[in-house]
Structure 1
């Protein structure tokens, strides 16, 4: 029988506010704030050009339960374009844009099917091939129960079955755990493809059948690195082909710069800008963290002559002159010199103390920051990756400060 072709997208987060990015120059900040819309436009334009059989959007179309007017207008406009191209769209809403939120209602065109608050099935015909879609939208923000138990087992093997599920694998705490499931749960339903949302990292959890997170369309902070986008899926009941399509308007990434042999400031700036230019040439506008490797004693002595904030500010000024833009968010030092070895026991003792802190102790240490009336509302939930970054920053700061004592 003929194959079908569809788009699997999720986590659009239209009109994301991009908290904590106030250091960006105004022009760059505006481009970043428009990036979720630019990524969505790329999805729509690709669909109109390639004409898939249908489009799946698996949760978190909007960034918040209030669904801003701007976000709804842009989404409706995109759906109208797909309607004009006779492309059906099937949408589930997730924890960010659940059905119990308060928003001004927009009527979507007839090509859009919105799943309700309970698992339901939708049957469509694609050139004589029956396809059944199974999915649900979040009725409330916090869905802790195992919604997977409400999905029916596929009995008719002449029909293609596709599951839409916005949730997380049990035990995966990279995001808040909602609508939990196991891989075995999904496989037991005998579907031909599982289109997942909620986790922003693109990944394939299982191959037969394909269980896939498409990730989000646009990275929103430094923990969402790399190119983002959606999957174009070709399915015939025997074989599944995936084609990743990038939509990122701005890419978050880490860029390595070797400092081997560097002993003068102009050499260091040149090495950094060469690496940044190479990255933006391949990826477009970017917000990068510079990872300095092969840092020898003479380079550490160079850094000690000025504060790291001054080095960062100067590098930002140079990068801001480039097109497409690059903003340097942080500088990390990976030191391999004799100086590193000399101070390693002392640094390790401090890091061991940091490693011994429990989650409750971390909360106590950061209580003033997260409890601050003004600053607290701009901070995202603290994840284990954030704690690792704090540890790395502490290690870097210790070595830089010790180099000044030499």
Structure 2
């Protein structure tokens, strides 16, 4: 006998999608709607293929102050699954924890939401008992291990654990409900349905320990196809099929600029990369990284502001590939020319002197704010690098303008 279920996590319904100003109207709307579109793709797949049940392992919503629209969209999806006879098991994570403040919506009776303590739910599928263990975050920060509260497997039931958390010692992500792979395996479960890490990962094959990743990429660092797993367990073994669900894919393309002297040449090279991305990934949002900028290309680019080049390629992309938006352009230039000293130079030198702790100390009020974190994201090494680079770019532009004014 085989049971079949869907494992999804990190829906983040209602994400504000910070940092996408300036996109053409249709693409901006696609980005804003993408988490809802991905969710509808999940519901459509489940309604069409009729799995035995659906697991959602945390962060259904993007924030603790769940919006009315996000909750209504989720409720409607659950009603559709109820009509298809599909039970749903939900655990809430650090983003949509139980201590948040929101207007409550009722959910249909096919939905089981786990409480703040580890609980188990049972259902019988064609004569086989399936036991699902899980919990919801009682508050935003659950930094202590919870794995010890999960009971060991026992009996003949198919046993599944749901856990929104991270591997102990993984400093690349915020550490919540930490665990080790051995601790999960010691429980003897047939499947571990994980959430919290937005990158798709298979930590162990048999039994599977799985992060399905986010349902939709939320920013440019969450590149590649996003979706969920369609899982079958039979005769003690599991098979997994990844199902893409995202409305658009975030990506990056490098445009070699050596030898370019005219804007039409640059445009054609960019469009070649944009078309290739579209063919490989479908709809998406793309960063263009300009490399190999020699002296001649630099002279061409200096004849118009960077904002105009960005608008130029956005308009061209919308004509040829209307479902691929250009998020931004980054310029890999040779060493910057000498610039005048003074206050700007002092500020640049000060920025360079800060280490990671220095940046975190100076930005803690913003990134630690109860509401602002929804719009800023996590202050990790990559974010610090981007902030430093952007500050350097803006200050350097100021220096150059100041030098020309003199």
* Bin for the TM-score computed over the shorter chain: 0.7 to 0.9
In the other structure, the counterpart of 1:97 is 96
What is the CA distance between 1:357 and its match in structure 2?
2.9
CA contact (8 A) 2:348 2:395 kept: no
Q: Secondary structure at the match of 1:6?
A: strand
Q: Comparing 37-46 with 57-66, which one deviates more in the overlay?
A: 57-66
Q: Counterparts of 1:6-405 in structure 2 under 5 Å?
A: 6-156=5-155, 158-334=156-332, 357-363=354-360, 378-390=375-387
> Within 2, Cα distance between the matches of 1:136 and 1:364?
33
What is the CA distance between 1:355 and its match in structure 2?
6.8
Q: Deviations over 1:204-228 (max 9, x none)?
A: 1222321111111111111211211
> Within 2, Cα distance between the matches of 1:280 and 1:297?
31
Structure 2: unaligned runs, 5 residues or longer:
339-346
Q: Secondary structure at the match of 2:132?
A: strand
What is the aligned residue count?
Answer: 393
> Within 1, Cα distance between the matches of 2:273 and 2:302?
23
What is the CA distance between 1:10 and its match in structure 2?
0.6
> Within 1, Cα distance between the matches of 2:217 and 2:373?
22
> Within 1, Cα distance between the matches of 2:15 and 2:201?
23
Q: Comparing 60-69 with 191-200, which one deviates more in the overlay?
A: 60-69
> Within 2, Cα distance between the matches of 1:154 and 1:242?
22
CA contact (8 A) 2:133 2:160 kept: yes
What is the CA distance between 1:53 and its match in structure 2?
1.1
Q: Secondary structure at the match of 1:117?
A: coil
Q: Secondary structure at the match of 2:216?
A: coil
CA contact (8 A) 1:160 1:237 kept: no
Give the alignment's TM-score, normalised by structure 1.
0.86
What is the CA distance between 1:108 and its match in structure 2?
1.4
Q: Deviations over 1:305-354 (max 9, x none)?
A: 3333332222122223345333322223446xxx66999xxxxxx99997
Q: Secondary structure at the match of 1:48?
A: helix
> Within 2, Cα distance between the matches of 1:27 and 1:20?
16
In the other structure, the counterpart of 2:343 is none
In the other structure, the counterpart of 1:347 is none
Q: Comparing 391-400 with 310-319, which one deviates more in the overlay?
A: 391-400
RMSD: 3.3
Q: Secondary structure at the match of 1:57?
A: strand
> Within 2, Cα distance between the matches of 1:294 and 1:300?
10
Q: Secondary structure at the match of 1:79?
A: helix
Q: Secondary structure at the match of 1:34?
A: helix
Q: Secondary structure at the match of 2:328?
A: strand
Relative distance call for 1:152 and 1:364 in structure 2 (3 A) is closer
